[in-house]
Amino acid sequence: EKWPKGDEKVWRTALRGLDTDVPSITKSVVNHVQTSLARQAYNLDNLGAYQAAALSVRDNLILNWNDTQMHYTRKAPKRAYYLSLEFLMGRTLDNALLNLGLKDKYQEGVHQLGFNLEDILEQERDAALGNGGLGRLAACYLDSSASQELPVWGYGLRYKYGIFQQLIGPDGSQLEAPDPWLQQGDNPWELPRLDVTYEVRFYGHAERLDGMKAIWSGGQEVVAMAYDTMIPGYDTKSTNNLRLWESKPKRGFDLQSFNAGDYERAVESSNSAEAITSVLYPNDHTTFGKELRLKQQYFWTAASLADIMRRFKNLGKPITEFPDYVAIQLNDTHPTLAIPELMRIFIDEEDVPWDAAWQLVTNTFFFTNHTVLPEALEKWPVPLMQSLLPRHMQIIFDIHYLHVAVEKKFPGDRDKFARMSLIEEGYPQQVRMANLACIGSRKVNGVAELHSELVRTTIMKDFVDYYGISKFANVTNGITPRRWLDQCNPGLSKLISETLKLPKAAFLKDLFKLEGLLKFVDDPIFQKKWAAIKQSNKERLAHYVETTLGLKINTHAMFDVQIKRLHEYKRQTLNIMGVIHRYLTLKDMTPEQRKTVNPKVVFFAGKAAPGYYIAKLTIRLIVNAARIINSDPETKDILQLYFLPDYSVSLAEVLIPASDISQHISTAGTEASGTSNMKFCLNGGLLVGTVDGANIEIAEEVGENNVFFFGHLTPAVEDLRYQHMYHAVPIEQKCPPLARVLNEVSAGRFGDGSVYEPLLNTIRQHDYYLLTEDFDSYIQALQLVDEAYQDRTEWIKKSIRTSAKMGKFSSDRAIQDYAQEYWNIESTKPE
């Protein structure tokens, strides 16, 4: 190695890195207080202490990040890129401390400075650049990639506003407020890269040249600037990168208009450029066809591909080797424009002939589908795409015609061809993004066994006939045990470590090691310790609820939790109807009978898309039912109901370890996987659920006797819906207990009943999500839960067994699957 200049000895000492003994840590924290924050050390609050501690931890991350990136550049391994419009990261400081192995030392250090680490961690605002499972999955996958020393980068958008903050109004309805998450001051976890910028074009016109080439010019140009977030691996120096793009105007403002006195006009283009990355779309499972969303998608894919292409070109390899160095995972169809964009780069800029370009493209991309719900399948109007991205529209039509080969394979089957077409006929025509993602990718996968099978047999059936089955695979989702065991449940992690006589790192890096707990299932002392941890987690949750909402919770009750986005298919409505049914049943009892009932606390949390009327009504019903139920002197000691506002990753970290039972009750065949089901089980909570998504594989692991299953199975769903359509039976006949619940709501038992009519009618009328079909078996399942909970020792055994069998659901396993079966990349780490 050559030294830059000057004295080598001086350089060597200076480059030694950071000391991480406690005195060095306190020194570094105080240094940041005085210099980076320019604050007085003697009047520091928790927020200031958080900021200084974060900057101090960040110094360590940056050094590891530099070494890792330098190593990748020198070694030039094949890399994988995870393109996701959502990364639901949550808080960073605690995770960084854990992964760096510095948690104890910082705890001691800040303690010596007069602070409590727990309080400092609470100061951090969640980075909530995602809606739900899809975005949190991306975050878990980054953690697992870095932890396994895999060369993987994430690419996304740096939204100025994350998912909205949820408030509950006086009438019980959801209100939305913006989430200006960056307004806390500088975000210590990101590095602005003023030098990493690309120009991205919109509109203009595309002019065909000879052959398949074209020139795209004119229109509007905006600039993408990179912000890098360091992703530390656990127990390794490897620190990967999450690169998020911010949109900026190409020219700050228009001097001509300014000089002419038209000040509004002068900043107009700057405002419209900045709008692109201003806000995360808060819709989950629905598409709206808004131009700004399409702009976001193109802006992000174009900047990411330009960056990937520049890095590839620095290797000096022939363009034909692109797929030997680059694998790109498409997280749902949101980044599908990357396919025509890479075609455009190859053909228009790199002079690659069409067929060769298509070959390269289809060896580069991999596509994950996350839902089979029809309303979530993205389609873009051809006229909109034509105006915003004229060159891409040409390329898509070219791919479409190439694809006409399908006709040759299935001569005369026009229906099949119509279904497989990239263009859906209609007024206007629409581009089907899932079809484009499928034909442009090497492999297509679903996110749990049942879901992948549904992908193969429903939305992608024709493509399976065409390409053969081997293109269509499964990678069951996973969760990172670092955040979802050690961070959120340190007591349990410690107990496991002591019991197995293993350092935490052993099972946090190989979750199958938890199976060792099975030996202790019958050990009464271990059972007691296991139960004590659940109890203290309940108290931690109760404390949170008391300090934030001022409500007192019975911590000796069974805790029953359903936390996820509000959606009809997830059936929070079934749950609330079940709670009301329980309430009515308790009211029917004599006081003597009530004394024998085990107390239960039911928690809901989750956001509804701002425009999703029925989902919002469900929240309103839950909140208002809670008001009545919690204040009823006859029942309030045995049944409590809470809707916790503003669900977030951080709230999940408090709720999940406290739960005895959690609900994953989607209509069979609708929940692709679910990932919180895995988190609850890992923390010793049991499931009540339908035979859907990853619930099925969880039951395979833990044994069906440890899961409370109910409801119809997937193959029955279509027939039942057909019957509802054409041979409807009134609810009073079909399901009297549910009819009674609906009538009580209607009659105003929980506030003005007329408000809820539209919600009740979804059940009384078509009942698309089959509540009337599943209600009886749901109530039975909850009955079995109550009975099982009576025998506390048996329950604790179930809880231990469940947690012990969660090895499969580590995101480390999922990422290994992707790395080996799809991306063909290998671990490599800096010295």
Q: Which residues are catalytic?
A: 370, 564-565, 570, 675, 679
Q: Please, which residue, 564 or 805, has the CB nearer to ligand NTF?
A: 564
Q: Is the peptide bond before 737 cis (omega within 30 degrees of 0)?
A: no
What type of residue sits at position 284? D
Positions in 609-668 near ligand NTF (CB under 6 A): none
Site string for ligand NTF, 395-434 (x = CB under 6 A): ----------------------------------------
Pick the piece of the chain touching ligand NTF (CB under 6 A) from 203-211, 591-599, 673-681, 796-804.
Answer: 673-681
Instruction: Using alpha carbons, list the distances in angstroms from residue 644 to 109, 549, 626.
Output: 34, 8, 11
Say whether residue 284 binds ligand NTF (CB under 6 A): yes
Would you say 699 and 709 are in contact if contact means Cβ atoms under 8 Å apart? yes
Positions in 497-526 near ligand NTF (CB under 6 A): none
Q: Please, which residue, 143 or 671, has the CB nearer to ligand NTF?
A: 671
Q: Which of 133, 156, 657, 689 binds ligand NTF (CB under 6 A)?
A: 133
Pick the piece of the chain touching ligand NTF (CB under 6 A) from 295-303, 408-416, 643-651, 671-679.
Answer: 671-679
User: Distance between CA 384 and CA 73 in Å, rounded?
Assistant: 40
Q: Please, which residue, 201 or 564, has the CB nearer to ligand NTF?
A: 564
**Among 218, 30, 243, which residue's Cα sits nearest to residue 142?**
243
End-to-end CA distance of the chain: 15
Strand, helix or coil for residue 830:
coil
Instruction: Using alpha carbons, list the distances in angstroms from residue 622 to 35, 224, 578, 579, 652.
Output: 49, 43, 11, 9, 19
Q: Which of 370, 432, 442, 534 binds ligand NTF (CB under 6 A)?
A: 370
User: Distance between CA 777 and CA 773 in Å, rounded?
Assistant: 8
Say whether residue 126 binds ligand NTF (CB under 6 A): no
Say whether residue 607 binds ligand NTF (CB under 6 A): no
Say whether residue 83 binds ligand NTF (CB under 6 A): no
Say whether residue 137 binds ligand NTF (CB under 6 A): yes
Site string for ligand NTF, 323-352 (x = CB under 6 A): ---------x--------------------
Least gap, CB of 163 to ligand NTF (angstroms): 13
Instruction: Give 212's contacts (C-beta < 8 A, 6+ positions apart).
Output: 347, 353, 354, 398
User: Distance between CA 821 and CA 814 in Å, rounded?
Assistant: 11
Least gap, CB of 567 to ligand NTF (angstroms): 8
Strand, helix or coil for residue 56:
helix
**Among 628, 545, 634, 549, which residue's Cα sits nearest to residue 588?**
634
Say whether residue 297 binds ligand NTF (CB under 6 A): no
User: What letter does residue 750 receive in the DSSP assignment?
Assistant: T
Neighbouring CB atoms inside 10 A of 556's CB total 10
Least gap, CB of 825 to ligand NTF (angstroms): 21
Owner of token pair 């399409």: 294
Q: Please, which residue, 357 or 672, has the CB nearer to ligand NTF?
A: 672
Say whether residue 94 binds ligand NTF (CB under 6 A): no
Least gap, CB of 371 to ligand NTF (angstroms): 4
Least gap, CB of 698 to ligand NTF (angstroms): 12
**Among 249, 188, 253, which residue's Cα sits nearest to residue 224?**
249
Site string for ligand NTF, 371-390 (x = CB under 6 A): x----x--------------
Say whether residue 527 binds ligand NTF (CB under 6 A): no
Element (H, E) at 793: helix 792-804
Least gap, CB of 674 to ligand NTF (angstroms): 5
Site string for ligand NTF, 440-479 (x = CB under 6 A): -------x-----------------------------x--
Q: Which of 156, 188, 335, 674 binds ligand NTF (CB under 6 A)?
A: 674
Query: Hey, which residues does 153 pair with through a beta bridge?
Result: 81, 241
Q: How many residues bind ligand NTF (CB under 6 A)?
A: 18
Q: Please, which residue, 68 or 477, has the CB nearer to ligand NTF?
A: 477
Q: Please, which residue, 397 or 768, has the CB nearer to ligand NTF?
A: 768
Q: Are strands 365-368 and 326-331 parallel, antiparallel or unpaired?
A: parallel
Q: Please, which residue, 675 or 690, has the CB nearer to ligand NTF?
A: 675
User: Distance between CA 597 and CA 469 in Å, rounded?
Assistant: 53
Q: Which of 37, 134, 294, 696 binds ligand NTF (CB under 6 A)?
A: 134
Q: Which of 671, 697, 773, 774 binds ligand NTF (CB under 6 A)?
A: 671
Least gap, CB of 156 to ligand NTF (angstroms): 14
Q: Please, which residue, 340 or 674, has the CB nearer to ligand NTF?
A: 674
- Residues 295, 296, 302, CA angle at the centre, nearest 5°? 85
Instruction: Using alpha carbons, list the distances in angstroms from residue 762 to 42, 581, 613, 750, 767.
Output: 60, 18, 12, 18, 5
Positions in 747-786 near ligand NTF (CB under 6 A): none
* 522 half-sphere exposure, CB direction, 13 A CA radius: 1
Q: Please, which residue, 332 or 774, has the CB nearer to ligand NTF?
A: 332
Q: What is the DSSP track for 445-490?
A: EESSHHHHHHHHHTTTHHHHHHH-GGGEEE----B-HIIIIIIT-H
Which token pair is 468? 């053969």
Least gap, CB of 695 to ligand NTF (angstroms): 10
Would you say 204 and 216 are in contact if contact means Cβ atoms under 8 Å apart? yes
| Interface ranges with ligand NTF (CB under 6 A) | 132-134, 137, 284-285, 332, 370-371, 376, 447, 477, 671-675, 693
